Amino acid sequence: MIQLYNVFKTYNGNTPALVDISLLIKERSFVFITGASGAGKSTLLKLLFGWERFDSGQILVKGMNVGKIKKEKLYLLRRHIGVVFQDYKLLPNKTVFENVAFALEVTGASARSIRYKTSDALKSVGLFKKRDSHPMQLSGGEQQRVGIARALVHNPAILLADEPTGNLDPDISLEILKLFEMANQQGMTVVFATHNHELVRRANYPFIILDKGNVVRP
Amino acid sequence: MFYSKHLNRAVDNLKSNPQTSLVSVSTFAAAFCILGLFMVLYVNLDSLLATWSRQVQIIVYLNDDLKKPQLKKLEALFAGNSEVSSVEYVSRQAAWEKFKNTFSAETEFLETLAFNPLPASYNLRFKPGPRRVENIRRFAEELRERPEVESLEYGEKWISRFEKFMVFLKVFLLAIGGLLGLGLIFIISNTIRLSALSRKNEIELMLMIGATHRYIKTPFLLEGVLQGAAGAVLALLAAKGVHAYMSFQFSDSIAKIARDADFLFIGPSGILILFGSSVAVGWLGSYISISKVLNMVNES
Ligand SMILES: Nc1ncnc2c1ncn2[C@@H]1O[C@H](COP(=O)(O)OP(=O)(O)OP(=O)(O)O)[C@@H](O)[C@H]1O
Ligand SMILES: [Mg+2]
């Protein structure tokens, strides 16, 4: 499903962000990526959906050779992936419903299936009632639910989460974690980057520790 | 369906930056109005030239007292030139009648003239064709050498000068068209760049959730095209206004210069060219800038 072989990544010639990373993430698995700030967690996720290019090595995602995909064709990879961000990345001038529907709209889905799937995704994160609110009218936890609904709505094979609970209270964080577990149970591969050790310990999934760009214990 | 959604987004973009949009639309309008007025000038001079050169003829004034065989010889010469379309003989008497008719108000003065001062002449008209003026000139020089010919008259010199001027005007039109086009591409690309940068987060998100480049670019391209089209429509309206004003205000002098020719506006193909190039410039300018912004966002 996700395979990395001897991957190196350096940002404009500075200190390396990822050093000789090789790892395998199986289909339908749930994996944490942890490590101190600056360890390279975000960088690793960005490589997986083709947001950053890497210097050498190989990355295979859903059978696609990520390093070989042309910029104009990266959307093909990204349509298999849902991404959840620490800062939610919601569009403030769109309603909750429109924010989630947006992920389907850009793929050219029909209006009917957009309506249907968006409602479904909002129900699954428990926010259907707030579909007409704007992001600014929601709490942080609710905003992140919208972000998760948007990542789930096109039913991707892989869910990448970069510190999705970084801005949230511990209680809310656990609820958010449950949503990812639910997605995992429905068959999605989840890669969850966090430096919240509490969360990692309670959930009891395999984890990858990064330290200064190196894998410490796979 | 695909385009109506993008069109909505484009219109939203226009509305969210009303000032920059307005500036670029009015710059388009001003530039294409100038271009349009030059085209009006060109179209009218061109039709004037066509009218005049259709009327170009050689008037061969004859020496007095030519004998029949000499006239026959000249007529054979005219008939032998395949470019000549018609030959009209005007006798001294006929010329005198026509002269008197034309200046009938001055009959008193004319009565005092005891003799007919006018020579007989041939009026030669020529077939239309690409090397018409050239042919006329060559034939005129040939005729001038004939002993039967007293003198001859034709508008060759200034017709060919006029034709050269029209070529110059065409080159000039293309040149200012090109320059204005470049300036407009610069302006529109700036406008679209501002519009795209104000939506940088949205573009970034669209890329992340799997939008194609085409999907992201299309509303911005439409935005540029809309601005170009709006500018062109305003420009054509303004140019038409100036045209209408001028034909009203100067109708007398225009009638004098152009005889019965009308003061023309740009024809349908000219309008299409103006509109098409305005739209093309809008598209090109926005294409350049949205591609740049997309690359920039994509690199990060
Ligand atoms: N766009 C960038 N340009 C240059 N250097 C960068 C960039 N992004 C990250 N880095 C560097 O790469 C290294 C890894 O950063 P990364 O963001 O992957 O760490 P992280 O584990 O996600 O940290 P955090 O927990 O703080 O989010 C750091 O040294 C960081 O300074
Ligand atoms: Mg990070």
B165 and B46 fall within a common domain? yes
What are all long-range contacts of B199-202, with beta carbons under 8 Å and residues at least 24 apart? B199/B13, B200/B293, B200/B297, B201/A89, B201/A91, B202/A91
B27 and B175 fall within a common domain? yes
What are the pLDDT digits (tens) for B262-280? 788 888 999 999 999 999 9
CA R_g for chain B: 31
DSSP state at residue B119 = P
The number of beta carbons lying within 10 Å of the beta carbon of residue B62 is: 23
B22 and B167 fall within a common domain? yes
- Mean of per-residue pLDDT scores for chain B: 85
B65 and B211 fall within a common domain? no
Asked if B105 has any chain A CB less than 8 Å from its own CB, the reply is no
Q: pTM for the full model?
A: 0.79
B149 and B271 fall within a common domain? no
B172 and B284 fall within a common domain? yes
Q: Is the pLDDT of residue A17 over 90?
A: yes
What are the pLDDT digits (tens) for B156-207? 667 778 778 888 988 998 898 899 889 889 988 888 898 889 889 999 999 9
Q: Is the pLDDT of residue B105 over 70?
A: no
For A151, how many CA atoms within 13 A lie in the half-sphere containing its CB?
Answer: 32
**What span, in angstroms and rounded, lies between the C-alpha atoms of B157 and B52?**
13
Does residue A216 lie within any of the structural domains? Answer: no
Task: Supply the pLDDT for residue B256.
Answer: 67
B61 and B15 fall within a common domain? no
Tokens 């019965």: give the residue.
Answer: B260
B81 and B224 fall within a common domain? no
The CATH number given to whatever domain includes residue B126 is 3.30.70.3040
Q: How far is A67 from chain B (nearest CA, A)?
A: 14
**pLDDT (mean) for B117-129:** 83
Q: How far is B210 from chain A (nearest CA, A)?
A: 4
Does residue A18 lie within any of the structural domains? Answer: no
Q: Is A28 left (phi over 0), alpha (psi -120 to 50) or beta?
A: left
The CATH number given to whatever domain includes residue A168 is 3.40.50.300
Categorize the per-residue pLDDT at B257 as very low, low, confident or very high, splitting at 50, 70 and 90.
low
Does residue A23 lie within any of the structural domains? Answer: no
Q: Given an 8 Å threshold on Cβ–Cβ distance, is A49 in contact with B208?
A: yes
Question: In sequence order, which residues have a C-beta less than 8 Å from that of residue B125 and are 6 or more positions away?
Answer: B57, B84, B85, B86, B87, B88
B139 and B270 fall within a common domain? no
Q: Choose the final residue of a domain: B104, B121, B154.
A: B154
Does residue A178 lie within any of the structural domains? Answer: yes
Which residue range(s) make up the domain with A203? Answer: 29-53+74-207
Domains in chain A, number: 1
Which residue range(s) make up the domain with B172? Answer: 2-52+160-299
Does residue A83 lie within any of the structural domains? Answer: yes
Q: Given an 8 Å threshold on Cβ–Cβ distance, is A106 in contact with B5?
A: no
Asked if B292 has any chain A CB less than 8 Å from its own CB, the reply is no
**What span, in angstroms and rounded, lies between the C-alpha atoms of B132 and B217?**
53
Q: Kind and range of the H or E element at A100? A: helix A96-105
How much distance in Å is there from the Cα of A210 to the middle of ligand 2? 12
Q: Is the pLDDT of residue B109 over 80?
A: no
Alpha carbon B146 to its chain centroid, in Å, reads: 40
How much distance in Å is there from the Cα of A31 to the middle of ligand 2? 16
Tokens 């008497």: give the residue.
Answer: B93
Ligand of minimum distance to the alpha carbon of A34: 1
**What span, in angstroms and rounded, lies between the C-alpha atoms of A44 and A33?**
9
What are the pLDDT digits (tens) for A118-176? 999 999 999 999 999 999 999 999 999 999 999 999 999 999 999 999 999 999 999 99
Q: How far is B219 from chain A (nearest CA, A)?
A: 12
B205: chain A residues, CB-CB within 8 Å: 89, 91, 102
B175 and B258 fall within a common domain? yes
Beta bridge partners of B60: B122, B152
Task: Supply the pLDDT for residue B300.
Answer: 53
> Do residues A95 and A132 touch, judged by C-beta distance below 8 A?
yes
**pLDDT (mean) for B56-66:** 84
What are the pLDDT digits (tens) for A29-80? 999 999 999 999 999 999 999 999 999 999 999 999 999 999 999 999 999 9
Minimum CA distance residue for ligand 1 atom 26: A37
Ligand of minimum distance to the alpha carbon of A46: 1
B positions 185-244 inside 8 Å of A (CB): 201-202, 204-213, 215
Ligand 1 atom closest to the Cα of residue A39 is 21
Domains in chain B, number: 2
Alpha carbon B166 to its chain centroid, in Å, reads: 9
B110 and B241 fall within a common domain? no
What are the pLDDT digits (tens) for B67-93? 888 888 888 888 888 888 888 888 888
How much distance in Å is there from the Cα of B209 to the middle of ligand 2? 19
Asked if B299 has any chain A CB less than 8 Å from its own CB, the reply is no
Q: Choose the final residue of a domain: B131, B154, B177.
A: B154
